Each structure stands twice: as structure tokens, then as C-alpha cells.
């Protein structure tokens, strides 16, 4: 013989304006079935026992009183069924990885330290895809930077942005002083300073997860180049030019 013990709950319901109304009386059996007597009548809508969930009745969202040993997430005498979701906040733009900085790119020119006016000077950037490790959102993470754009100011008022870092004349199989996708010609002599900014795409990952792209680009400044632009003059001579002798070509 199974003995049951009736539980008597008396809930005082307040209407709008705090006007007291009849108490709701429920027994243990009627709570489960969603039947409570209010002022001598009966309601089948269930009663809000905890403030955020309805017990019993056909409209119940699923909370129930169970053995805590059988519930993965007991809260008092109710069970939510599953553990609360973890914080799934993840970075979405490059602003979320401000603590990660790409490696400093480098640049050089051909020739190095000087050039001639009206003749192409070749510029080459040195930067490759690389990974920077650190902490992101409180967890160990990797950020991978990939160079995608190169913006250069030439020191004479001109500037250009390309998608290529440039290559040496030897790598291009071209003779010196020929045009390349990253070359520049100066109109007059003087001392110039060349500056380069490299823009990177960024991706991140936690542990061995797949890489996830981030919106936006990250920039890094390369070393500056300062060199002289010279003017070369040619002269006609009666014999083979020997600059070591009298100097049949001058540059200024």
C-alpha cells in the first residue's frame, strides 16, 4: 500500500492595484494535474510557484520537481533538464584582437641608398603569412595574419597601393632600371623618404579548431627608406669611358 501525503499550499494572489482577491488552495495531487480551487472554483491553468515557471496545467513550459540525483541541472525543487548554456561570445572584428599585433614588415629598394631621376626605382616589401599566439577572451588562442595590401608613399608627393609586395629584378628576370609593378620614377634630384604600410587580414582559432576570419584589416608600418635621387649627365668623349680616370659621367 502506497501512502501519499497531501500538501496544502495557500497562495495569495494580488490583482492590479494590489486589491486582494481570494486565496488559491492546491493539494499535492492537484498541483501535478494543474487543478487549484480559487474562491470555491477551479482553475486548470497551473500556478506560478517559482516566479518564472508554471507547475502543472497544459501550459507548463516543462519545469518539474525531480530527484536531484537524476537531474543534470536541479534548481531548488525544479529541473531545467540541461545545464545552462556557456558564454558563446566570440570575436567578430579585428577590434576584438587588439592585443595581437602582426610582425613588423620590411622594405628595400633597388638600387639601395640612391637612384637616378627619370629612371624606375624598384621597391620590394618583405612580409609573409604568420601566426601570433596569446590570450583571447581569457583563453589561449592563435591569430593568423596574411598580408593583402601594400600602401607606399615615395617622398615626392606620390603614393600607390598595390596587392603585390614586389620582387627583385633578378627574380622577375628583368634587367636593372626596367619598370615593375612596384617601381617608381622621380622627376627631380633630392633626398626622399619612402614609407610603407602593410595591411593584413586576420583569422583566429582556439586550440586545434578551424580558423575563423575576422572582419576588417590590421595595419603595420615597415622601416623607412631614405636615399638620394641623383641627376645623371652624359658627355661624348674621344675614347672609351673610364670613370676611374677623369670621370666621363657625372651625377649630381
CA atoms in the 13 A half-sphere facing the CB of 163: 1
| Rounded Cα–Cα distance for residues 7 and 235 (Å) | 116
**pLDDT by 10s per residue, the chain, length 252:** 444 444 434 433 343 344 444 444 444 444 444 444 444 444 444 433 333 333 333 333 344 444 545 554 454 554 444 333 344 457 777 788 888 999 999 999 999 999 999 999 999 999 999 999 998 888 899 999 999 999 999 999 999 999 999 999 999 999 999 999 999 999 999 999 999 999 999 999 998 889 999 989 999 999 999 999 998 776 666 666 555 444 454 444
| CATH superfamily, region 94-251 | Immunoglobulins (2.60.40.10)
| Rounded Cα–Cα distance for residues 168 and 164 (Å) | 12
pLDDT at 62: 41
| Rounded Cα–Cα distance for residues 50 and 75 (Å) | 10
CB 252 within 8 A of CB 114: no
CA angle 10, 12, 15 (to 5 degrees): 155
pLDDT at 238: 67
| Rounded Cα–Cα distance for residues 27 and 11 (Å) | 12
pLDDT at 89: 59
Q: Give the three-class secondary structure for 237.
A: coil
CB 148 within 8 A of CB 200: yes
In the chain, list all ranges with CATH 2.60.40.10. Answer: 94-251
User: What CA–CA distances, in Å, run from 17 to 48, 50, 95?
Assistant: 20, 22, 50
| Rounded Cα–Cα distance for residues 228 and 112 (Å) | 10
Burial of 75: CB neighbours in 10 Å, binned 0-12, 13-18, 19+: middle
Would you state the cell numbers that stand for residue 128, as one nine-digit string?
609573409
pLDDT at 242: 56
pLDDT at 129: 97
Q: Read off φ and ψ for residue 141, nearest 5 degrees.
A: -155, 160
What is the pTM assigned to this prediction? 0.59
Amino acid at each position: 500500500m502506497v501512502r501519499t501525503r497531501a500538501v496544502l499550499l495557500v497562495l495569495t494572489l494580488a490583482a492590479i492595484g494590489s486589491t486582494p482577491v481570494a486565496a488559491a488552495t492546491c493539494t499535492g495531487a492537484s498541483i501535478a494535474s494543474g487543478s487549484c480551487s480559487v474562491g470555491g472554483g477551479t482553475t486548470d491553468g497551473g500556478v506560478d510557484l517559482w516566479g518564472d515557471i508554471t507547475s502543472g496545467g497544459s501550459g507548463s513550459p516543462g519545469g518539474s520537481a525531480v530527484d536531484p540525483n537524476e537531474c543534470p541541472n536541479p534548481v531548488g525543487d525544479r529541473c531545467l533538464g540541461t545545464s545552462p548554456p556557456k558564454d558563446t561570445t566570440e570575436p567578430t572584428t579585428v577590434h576584438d584582437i587588439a592585443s595581437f599585433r602582426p610582425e613588423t614588415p620590411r622594405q628595400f629598394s633597388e638600387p639601395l641608398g640612391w637612384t637616378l631621376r627619370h629612371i624606375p626605382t624598384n621597391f620590394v616589401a618583405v612580409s609573409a603569412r604568420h601566426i601570433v599566439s596569446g590570450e583571447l577572451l581569457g583563453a589561449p588562442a592563435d591569430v593568423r595574419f596574411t598580408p593583402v595590401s601594400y600602401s607606399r608613399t615615395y617622398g615626392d608627393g606620390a603614393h600607390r597601393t598595390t596587392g603585390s609586395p614586389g620582387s627583385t629584378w633578378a627574380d622577375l628576370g628583368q634587367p636593372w632600371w626596367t619598370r615593375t609593378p612596384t617601381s617608381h620614377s622621380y622627376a627631380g634630384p633630392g633626398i626622399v623618404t619612402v614609407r610603407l604600410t602593410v595591411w593584413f587580414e586576420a583569422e583566429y582559432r582556439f586550440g586545434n579548431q578551424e580558423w575563423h576570419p575576422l572582419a576588417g584589416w590590421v595595419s603595420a608600418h615597415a622601416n623607412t627608406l631614405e636615399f638620394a635621387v641623383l641627376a645623371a649627365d652624359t658627355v661624348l668623349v674621344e675614347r672609351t669611358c673610364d670613370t676611374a680616370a677623369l670621370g666621363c659621367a657625372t651625377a649630381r
